[in-house]
Amino acid sequence: MPEPLTPAGATLDDGPSSSSVDPPPASPGAPPARPLTRGVAPERRRSEKRALLFAALVLLAGAALGAGGFLLEQTTSNWRPQIVRTQTGWRITEVRMLGFDGLALCDERIAWQDGASILLLDLRSGKARLLGPGNEARATWQPAISERYVVWFEGAREGASSADAWTYDVATRRRRHIATLDDVLSFPSVSGTRTVWCTTRDAESRIVGVDLTNDKGLVVASEYGRPVIDGALVAWARSSGSGLSSFVLADVTQGRSWAVIPSGLGGAADLTGFDLSGRTLVWGQQDAQTAVGRIVAQNVDTGAANVVAEGTRTATAPSIAGDTVVWAEQTPDAAAYRVMGRRLRGGPSFQIARVDGQVQSALVSGGIVAWLVDNGDRSPTWIETARIPR
């Protein structure tokens, strides 16, 4: 059964923390007026004390009712998607018709957006959880997920450029605020205990982040980019006037960075996206007119590259985990889509699933593949998962 939002600083077993729902501490009473004559100030009458006590009780009751109303709203609101176990994994279908988006996958968990809601699903149990937004936010940005943390942004209203960064710790089952962004220039990316994103600071674009073990800030680079992090490596694309010119790699532990020139980049094609795993960068490009694309894997140290797939109508950016690359493409007859995979250590590409719908993203992690399908035309969006055949 899906579970409700966990308030900031609260666990699933404990009651709400004082920082989120408890009333503020009562203000101390004003000091007694100085008597006009020397001696002891007159004692308050019992009726006056009783009235003050009653007023305090009313304030406490009102605050408690307000907190309880917030938790009840999160518990009873219709945020729960339809979750069904399939022969290969899970199928999660929206019910509110707000549209799924922003799929993220790490090992046995997925996170995604359902409208403005941020949801988390444990693929072992099928148990879902609502992570956000909080009661003061109305907009969210695509989440990111690592083995322990989910990171996302919340804004006060739709179309807002500023946001607050939040994280949910799956080990402690707590969510907390980690940063405030003046301008959101990229989605977050998280790996292990580090998360990065692009924002502005002092009117300049910067790639920054947070160490989630101590909430200490990280400064990666003073330039614009949409960063992806894996371990201690951060990668982003650098563009020139004619399009992609290079990828930049930065090691946040060593404080050094270097450029990787894309091997065999076609000048007329657009970058569809990129991903990073270990020392391998995988990226895709697609012809804007024919939609025919290619996917390339490249070593970030030596620059050695090999083509993973080409000559097909690729539908999504590639995703990589270890030596496995996953993407989605149209079938040769354009009647459907298929989720494909290939091992970099050798062997041909293989089909993971045939999908009767338009695949928006396909991801791989820990031997599990997840893909998001959106047909438009007011059809419900859905997510499917499967294990990669060995």
* Domains along the sequence of the chain with CATH: 82-97+262-390 (2.130.10.120)
For 365-376, how does the pLDDT look when each residue is reduced to its tens digit (9 = 90+)?
A: 999 999 999 987
Average pLDDT on 281-306 reads 91
Cis amide leading into 227 (omega within 30) = no
The whole model's pTM is what? 0.80
In this prediction, residue 127 carries a pLDDT of: 96
Phi, psi torsion values for 278, nearest 5 degrees:
65, -120
In the structure encoding, which two tokens stand for residue 71, read together? Answer: 């938790």
pLDDT category of residue 30 using cuts at 50, 70 and 90: very low
Q: What is the DSSP letter of 184?
A: B
Spatial contact of 6 and 174, defined as CB atoms under 8 Å apart: yes
Burial class (CB in 10 A: 0-12, 13-18, 19+), 218: middle
- Residue entry with tokens 């605020």: 177
In this prediction, residue 4 carries a pLDDT of: 45
Burial class (CB in 10 A: 0-12, 13-18, 19+), 32: exposed
pLDDT category of residue 47 using cuts at 50, 70 and 90: low
Q: Tell me: pLDDT of 244 over 60.
A: yes
Q: Tell me: pLDDT of 280 over 80.
A: yes
Average pLDDT on 325-347 reads 94
Q: Tell me: pLDDT of 71 over 60.
A: no
Task: Tell me how far apart the alpha carbons of residues 48 and 55 are, in angstroms, rounded to a whole number.
Answer: 11
Spatial contact of 331 and 338, defined as CB atoms under 8 Å apart: yes
**C-alpha angle 192-114-208 in degrees, rounded to nearest 5:** 35
> Measuring CA to CA, how many Å separate 269 from each of 240, 273, 287, 328?
14, 12, 4, 18
- State the alpha helices, DSSP H only, in the chain: 46-76
In this prediction, residue 288 carries a pLDDT of: 78
Burial class (CB in 10 A: 0-12, 13-18, 19+), 251: middle
CA 388 to centroid of chain Cα atoms: 23
Task: Tell me how far apart the alpha carbons of residues 57 and 50 are, in angstroms, rounded to a whole number.
Answer: 11
